[in-house]
Copies of this chain bind each other. A is one copy, B any other.
Amino acid sequence: MSPGKTHTSDTPRRIANAALAAFAEYGFDGATTRDIAKRAQVNQGLITYHFQSKEALWRAAMDAVFGEVDDMLATMEEQVAGKTTDEQREIGIHAIVSFFASRPETVRFMVELGRDQSGRMAWLVDRHLSRVYARLPFLSDDRHRRAHEFYLLAGAAALIFAARDECVRLTGVDPANDEAVAYHSQMLARMFSSGL
């Protein structure tokens, strides 16, 4: 905590985090800058001051999520060093499932942009997703196989958390607790290792 003048306002960060929560809940179109301002406890005008537009704010929010993705990947790479491919896969899957459990909105954004003419999908792929895609150590090197493995894994890992409330109502099971996360991760790891 630097005292005095050195402390620049954390308002942009607060706004970006509020935006992330709002976009996660309502999607890009459903979220409103007024609601975001309210969540961040500032007025709406400040959003335009710190970010030029709703879309620029969305990009800032994406930078924030994928910052966390990078942290997760860095931790994973440490844990994975020197391990066999099988061990790498199990560790990696557990890390990914845990991440999706804590940030279920991540896959929500991917799905929301699946069909997209706004240019946001292209931005997200070029700026963040392609880096993540290249960084997963335990996926196949074959181009086709890698693509299918990636989406099999991401979908299987993430959907139950992205649709948490629905899952609760549909099945009576709440996936958002440590026990359920471990169970999900275990099942997925077993499927992935034996099925390839």
- Could you say which residues of chain B place their CB within 8 Å of the CB of A183? 144, 148
Bound: A195/B132 CA distance, A: 26
Q: Check: A95 CB closer than 8 A to any chain B CB.
A: no
Q: Closest B residue to A160 by CB, please name it.
A: B151
Q: Check: A59 CB closer than 8 A to any chain B CB.
A: no
Answer whether A129 and B159 are a contact pair too, CB < 8 Å, given A107-B111, A152-B184, A192-B195: no
Which residues of A, 144-175, contact B by the 8 Å Cβ criterion? 144, 146-160, 162-167, 169-173, 175
Decide if B156 touches A122 in the complex (CB within 8 Å).
no
- Choose among B24, B153, B165, B191 the residue that contacts A192 (Cβ–Cβ < 8 A): B191
Decide if A151 touches B122 in the complex (CB within 8 Å).
no
- Choose among B29, B107, B144, B195 the residue that contacts A195 (Cβ–Cβ < 8 A): B195
- Choose among B25, B154, B166 the residue that contacts A129 (Cβ–Cβ < 8 A): B166
Kindly specify which of A11-19, A41-49, A72-80, A113-121 makes contact with the partner chain: A113-121
Bound: A77/B122 CA distance, A: 40
- Interchain nearest-CB distance for A141 vs B (Å): 13
Answer whether A159 and B154 are a contact pair too, CB < 8 Å, given A25-B115, A195-B192: yes
- A115-144: CB near B (< 8 Å → 1, else 0) gives 110000110111001100100000000011
Chosen A-B contacts, 21 in total, with CB atoms closer than 8 Å, are A108-B112, A110-B159, A112-B112, A115-B164, A116-B166, A121-B165, A125-B166, A125-B169, A130-B170, A143-B173, A147-B167, A148-B175, A148-B187, A149-B187, A152-B191, A155-B155, A155-B160, A191-B191, A191-B192, A191-B194, A192-B195
Q: Which 5 A-B pairs have the closest CB atoms?
A: A191-B195, A155-B159, A155-B155, A151-B160, A29-B30
